Amino acid sequence: MTIKIWNFPRGARGVRLFWQCEEMGLAYQAEAVSFPVSDAYAKLNPIGNVPFLQDGEVAINESVAIMFYLAERYGPTPLLPKDDPVALARVLQLTVFSEASLGAFVNTLLMAKFGGATEADKQNWSVRAQDSRVDQFVDYVVKTLGDRPYLVGSSLTLADIAISTSLGVWVGALGRVLPPSLAAYQERLHALPTYQRARDKQQR
Ligand SMILES: N[C@@H](CCC(=O)N[C@@H](CS)C(=O)NCC(=O)O)C(=O)O
């Protein structure tokens, strides 16, 4: 049985999953999805987005759900520390926050930037409100990280993989600039061999 992870050629959230597999030593296959998606892909994943995972009879979307699935199905893993309830709760909270708050708001900003018909659309009240909310979210990550190397405890967790990916989309697709402590954090994470192998799996 092979874990298959479907992703767009430049889909950051698919790399998030490749990275987790690399960390956990899981074999996986990266499957390319073209945009707009084919009818065949829409049959597999009717919502038509990426990433999407197939693992035997399991077929799911939502990258954070896939992260928890992989950790639960193939763990235990230090990425999801279960012995310490405080650390476990924080990892769960920050990993969900990476998409439910940060990633979701960044996605709507992307829609406004690339889909807004007029400058007024691209800068409407909702866009401005979400932009400033994302600034608050980023500031929250700065405060949560403090001067520590990882968001929770003393080693990499799902929270780092998840949040670093959403920050990468904010910077890469929206051209925002990370505060210095997060820029250094991102640089450290991107130097990890597991991240580099994941990024190299990415179809360009
Ligand atoms: N919350 C979802 C977001 C997925 C998402 O927005 N994926 C992007 C690519 S990174 C995408 O497929 N965009 C096109 C679309 O949603 O149709 C997740 O974490 O999987």
- Domain at 22, CATH number: 3.40.30.10
Average pLDDT of the segment spanning 60-84: 98
pLDDT at position 94, please?
A: 99
Q: Residues with Cβ < 8 Å from 172, sequence gap 6 or more?
A: 12
DSSP state letter for 98: I
Ligand 1 touching residue 67 (CB < 6 A): no
Q: Is 5 helix (H, G, I), strand (E, B) or coil?
A: strand
Distance, CA of 108 to CA of 32 (rounded, Å): 24
What are the tens digits of pLDDT across the range 94-108?
A: 999 999 999 999 999
CATH number of 143's domain: 1.20.1050.10
Average pLDDT of the segment spanning 45-64: 98
pLDDT at position 202, please?
A: 77
- Please check whether residue 203 lies inside any domain of the structure: no
What are the tens digits of pLDDT across the range 133-157?
A: 999 999 999 999 999 999 999 999 9
Q: Which residue has the tokens 């235990």?
A: 76
Average pLDDT of the segment spanning 159-180: 97
Does the structure show a pLDDT above 60 at 204? Answer: no
Mean pLDDT over the full length of the chain: 97
Tokens of 151: 């968001």
Provide the total of helices (H) and of strands (E) in the chain, helices listed first.
10, 4
84 CA → ligand 1 middle, Å: 32
Same domain? 73 vs 99: no
DSSP state letter for 101: I
Containing domain of residue 18, as a range?
Answer: 3-78
Does the structure show a pLDDT above 90 at 203? Answer: no
Our measurement of the distance from residue 200's CA atom to the centroid of its chain's CA atoms, rounded to an integer in Å, reads 16
Does the structure show a pLDDT above 70 at 6? Answer: yes
Give the residue, out of 13, 15, 33, 95, with the most ligand 1 atoms within 8 A of its beta carbon, to mutate for a pocket test.
Answer: 13
